[in-house]
């Protein structure tokens, strides 16, 4: 049985509700030099010519249940945004599958994607990415409503835009202004209103507050949390800020070099992190000055997504790595409840 079929069987056997989003063995490789004809390099270890590619997402399995606020954390370049774009159909996967509400969506055409565009929306770090500078706020909000509800009257569309502005705290008197006339926080409110305008059920927010002042960040996070409660949304939330994770997430996936090394509900992850990388991340976070997690220094030999090493991708920086870690890629190990960790040292009880 191939690994994807094995995962499917596992999913059916478990007595849990069907996930809203399911990702199976997902991989995305980018050409390193897309403009070069021969992006090959001689690998002296395997004594073979290898095509140089960036392994941005390198075998991710993930389930998101309805009502989850799943935060994906990890350092810059570990593949968080690529994972989000693959799920949203903005990028084609090199391998693996994405399922939404029981239907496979990773291979659909643009036309087949259309109903999912209404159900799945994305909020970006830079709201300019989703706001057309030539449209007023009202036009920005009315455009997607009109597109997804072609039968609606002008007054109904207008009423919906008004109520969205009220929901996100944008004064109705400003509805004829353009995006550049607003502050960063207000622009993000408009981008959120635009994403919510089509009544999605699943929202991916890619670092939605990291470009904002700290004082504004909490307001936007509260807005997103209130929207989740009022509209029964499911979130995939990408961030590198652990304070945001603790405030916002119901579950956390920790990513390292294209793979998920640990996944748990938020309380468990902060109270009992098991993967050495998660422990290092938490130790580096100011909130843990009370010595809750022993500080852990990482080795320097960070691996590159261009040539991920054999075995565990974290082994070059891990103080617990041994010969098995060099050889074998660790599979996710189920601990208590929903807690999963991919680490040989944890599996063998060495840490
Ligand atoms: N279109 C692309 N072409 C080539 N390489 C890409 C492309 N998009 C992403 N990458 C590479 O893939 C890897 C993962 O990038 P990605 O943006 O997903 O990481 P990230 O964790 O979201 O980082 P950050 O937090 O800095 O946004 C990086 O090495 C990046 O340079």
Whether residue 65 is contained in a domain is answered as no
* pLDDT above 60 for 4: no
The residue to mutate among 52, 53, 56, 57, having the most atoms of ligand 1 within 8 angstroms of its beta carbon, is 56
**Residue 6 pLDDT > 60, yes or no?**
no
Q: In what order do the strands lie in the sheet with 259-265?
A: 120-123, 202-206, 234-238, 69-73, 251-256, 259-265, 340-341, 333-334
Asked if residue 229 belongs to a domain, the reply is yes
Question: What CATH number did the domain enclosing 131 receive?
Answer: 3.40.50.300
Distance 54 CA to ligand 1 centre (A): 9
Whether 244 is in a domain gets the answer: yes
d(CA 232, CA 80): 24
Q: In this structure, are strands 95-100 and 21-31 parallel, antiparallel, or unpaired?
A: antiparallel
How many domains are contained in the chain? 1
pLDDT exceeds cutoff 50 at 13: no
Q: Which atom of ligand 1 is nearest to the CA of 74?
A: 21
pLDDT tens column, 85-123: 999 999 999 999 999 999 999 999 999 998 899 999 999
Within-domain flag for 258: no
Strands 53-64 and 21-31: antiparallel
**217: containing domain:** 112-249
Asked if residue 242 belongs to a domain, the reply is: yes
CA of 29 to the centre of ligand 1 (A): 10
Amino acid 9: pLDDT: 45
Question: What is the pTM for the complete model shown?
Answer: 0.89
What pLDDT shows up at residue 215? 87
CA distance 55 to 32: 10
DSSP secondary structure letter of residue 311: S
Ligand 1 centroid from CA 83, angstroms: 10
Residue 217, in any domain of the structure: yes
Query: Average per-residue pLDDT in the chain?
Result: 88
* Dist CA 257 CA 78 (whole Å): 4
Residue 45: inside a domain: no
- Measured by CA distance, the residue closest to atom 10 of ligand 1 is 56
Q: What band does 7 get if pLDDT is binned at 50, 70 and 90?
A: very low
Of 5, 64, 58, 207, nearest to 124 by C-alpha is 207
Nearest-atom index, ligand 1, CA of 82: 18
Q: How far is CA 223 from CA 7, 84, 226, in A?
A: 36, 21, 5
Residue 300 located in a structural domain? no
Q: How far, in Å, CA of 137 to CA of 198, rounded?
A: 15
Q: Which residue has the higher pLDDT, 12 or 264?
A: 264
Listed residue (237, 208, 239, 256) closest to 73, CA to CA: 239
Which pLDDT does position 40 carry in this prediction? 63
Note the pLDDT tens digit of each residue in 167-206: 999 999 999 999 999 999 999 999 999 999 999 999 999 9
């Amino acid at each position: 049985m191939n690994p994807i079929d094995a995962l499917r069987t596992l999913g059916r056997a478990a007595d849990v509700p069907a996930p809203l989003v399911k990702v199976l063995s997902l991989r995305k490789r980018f050409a390193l030099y897309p403009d070069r004809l021969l992006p090959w390099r001689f690998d002296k270890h395997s004594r073979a010519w290898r095509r140089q590619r960036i392994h941005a997402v390198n075998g991710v399995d993930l389930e998101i249940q309805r009502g989850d606020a799943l935060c994906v954390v990890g350092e810059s370049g570990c593949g968080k945004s690529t994972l989000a774009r693959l799920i949203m159909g903005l990028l084609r996967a090199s391998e693996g599958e994405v399922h939404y509400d029981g239907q496979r969506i990773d291979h659909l055409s643009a036309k087949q994607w259309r109903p999912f565009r209404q159900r799945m929306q994305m909020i970006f770090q830079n709201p300019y990415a989703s706001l057309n500078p030539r449209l007023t706020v009202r036009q920005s909000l009315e455009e997607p409503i009109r597109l997804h509800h072609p039968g609606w009257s002008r007054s109904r569309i207008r009423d919906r835009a008004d109520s969205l502005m009220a929901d996100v705290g944008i004064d109705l008197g400003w509805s004829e202004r353009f995006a550049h006339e607003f502050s960063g926080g207000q622009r993000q409110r408009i981008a959120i209103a635009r994403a919510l305008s089509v009544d999605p059920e699943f929202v991916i927010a890619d670092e939605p507050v990291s470009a904002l002042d700290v004082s504004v960040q909490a307001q936007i996070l509260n807005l997103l949390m209130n929207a989740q409660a009022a509209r029964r949304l499911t979130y995939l939330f990408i961030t590198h800020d652990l304070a945001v994770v603790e405030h916002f997430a119901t579950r956390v996936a920790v990513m390292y070099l294209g793979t998920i090394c640990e996944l748990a509900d938020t309380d468990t992850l902060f109270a009992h992190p098991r993967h050495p990388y998660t422990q290092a991340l938490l130790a580096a976070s100011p909130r843990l000055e009370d010595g809750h997690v022993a500080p852990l220094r990482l080795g320097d030999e960070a691996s590159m997504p261009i040539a991920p090493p054999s075995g565990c991708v974290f082994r070059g920086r891990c103080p617990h790595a041994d010969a098995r870690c060099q050889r074998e890629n660790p599979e996710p190990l189920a601990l208590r409840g929903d807690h999963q960790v991919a680490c040989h040292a944890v599996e063998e009880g060495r840490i």
